[in-house]
Amino acid sequence: MPTAFRQRCPGLSRFNNPRPESVPRFQARVLVNLRPSVLDPAGEATRAAAVRLGVDGVSRLRIGKAVELELEAPDEQEARRRLELLSDRLLANPVIENWSLELQQS
Amino acid sequence: MSIGVVIFPGSNCDRDVRWATEGCLGLPTRFLWHEDQDLSGLDAVVLPGGFSYGDYLRCGAIARFAPVLQALVDFAAKGGRVLGICNGFQVLTELGLLPGALTRNQNLHFICEDAALAVASSRTPWLRHQSVGSEIVLPIAHGEGRYQCSEDTLKQLQDDDAIALRYCNNPNGSIADIAGITNASGNVLGLMPHPERACDPQLGGVDGQGLLRALIA
């Protein structure tokens, strides 16, 4: 649909929604972890509990977050761009955390 | 002359702050809802303690996008005084008005006790009434108050004389015993201890009065 038409009819999104049926959908998982230099006391407490459970040999345990997302985007490059922005600006705090992104088309 | 106290969903020290500033110190104070954007007529804004937006994702991470904070960035840039207490400090770091981040206490406990603090700088209006090295006692109440920053940031804080308060007995593992910092120009202060809980003589101490008086001074 031409952009000019959309601008003329801002209130008719239900009728002039330009999204085609076949817009690609993506599934993503963003893994957020504390930077190696940041102490993780919760991870250390969990490691100590592993020892009490009787599980030997756990020398390192760090707790992070996994954020699962589904999104629609014109292509993978654009999906990746949006997710990188989201991860950098909201899902992770770069002062203390690193993140990595897994992305696949569904 | 007026102070604004921001209320986020989940703030729980907003009324304590107003009681301290208006009830105890007689400073005109009004509340600001998190969706407000009009800060006109205010000399200072306080971000109170609590659990803004349930502390979801990270403490202060979602509050950062509140409309009132977009206005606050301009307010601070023009030299308006901004005080972030506890969760308010966490919000200021997420917002980027102060460097670093607040992380889980080293011993994993929620610590609620009086903390002795050493004045590390009297450069800014907040602590101008104190001499460097003097001690004040303010209550702390937090689970995520361990201040973290890079070596470079720590050096910058020291070079700017921006470390305002240090713990005498570091309760949470904060780097360099940091309890509170200012920005380089000194109009923004963030601290984990609660000055508003040390203003009413009936609560056992009034060491917080000087910090709150500095909101309008």
Parts of chain A with a pLDDT under 70: 1-21
Q: Which residue has the higher pLDDT, A18 or B83?
A: B83
CB within 8 Å of chain A, chain B residues 121-160? 146, 148-150
Q: Catalytic pick from B59, B86, B149, B199?
A: B86
Q: What is the pLDDT of residue A19?
A: 59
CB proximity B111 to A under 8 Å? no
The residues near B205 (Cβ < 8 Å, ≥ 6 apart) are: B114, B137, B138, B198
Residue B194 catalytic? yes
Model confidence at B139: pLDDT above 80: yes
CA distances from A87 to A40, A92, A99, A102, B122 (A): 20, 6, 7, 12, 38
Inter-chain touch B108–A42, beta carbons under 8 Å: yes
Give the Cα separation of B65 and B108 in Å (integer): 28
Give the Cα separation of B167 and B176 in Å (integer): 9
Mean pLDDT of B144-167: 97
Q: What is the pLDDT of residue B204?
A: 87
Q: What is the pLDDT of residue A1?
A: 47
Our CA-based measurement puts residue A72 at a distance from the nearest CA of chain B, in whole angstroms, of 23
Give me the interface pTM, i.e. the ipTM.
0.84
> Quick one: tokens of B152?
């470079």
Instruction: Name all domains of chain A by residue range, CATH numbers in brackets.
Output: 23-105 (3.30.1280.10)
For an interface test with B, give the residue of A95, A97, A99 to mutate (most B CBs within 10 A). Answer: A95
Residue range(s) defining the domain that contains residue B212: 3-216
Q: What is the pLDDT of residue A11?
A: 59
> Quick one: tokens of B151?
């070596």
Inter-chain touch A95–B105, beta carbons under 8 Å: no
Inter-chain touch B105–A41, beta carbons under 8 Å: yes
Q: What is the pLDDT of residue A15?
A: 62
Burial class (CB in 10 A: 0-12, 13-18, 19+), B5: buried
Q: What is the pLDDT of residue B130?
A: 94
List the beta bridge partners of residue A66: A31
Model confidence at B210: pLDDT above 80: yes
> In CATH, what number is assigned to the domain containing residue B137?
3.40.50.880
Burial class (CB in 10 A: 0-12, 13-18, 19+), B157: buried
Q: Which of A106, A66, A101, A94 is nearest to A80 (CA)?
A: A101
pLDDT in tens, B6-19: 999 999 999 999 99
Q: What is the pLDDT of residue B13?
A: 97
Q: Catalytic pick from B24, B94, B194, B199?
A: B194
- Number of compact structural domains in chain B: 1
Q: What is the pLDDT of residue B118?
A: 98
A-B contacts (CB, under 8 Å): 34
- What is chain B's mean pLDDT, rounded? 96
pLDDT in tens, A92-104: 999 999 999 999 9
Inter-chain touch A39–B93, beta carbons under 8 Å: no
Helix (H) or strand (E) holding B72: helix B67-77
CA distances from B149 to A97, B55, B157, B174 (A): 11, 20, 10, 9
Q: What is the pLDDT of residue B217?
A: 80
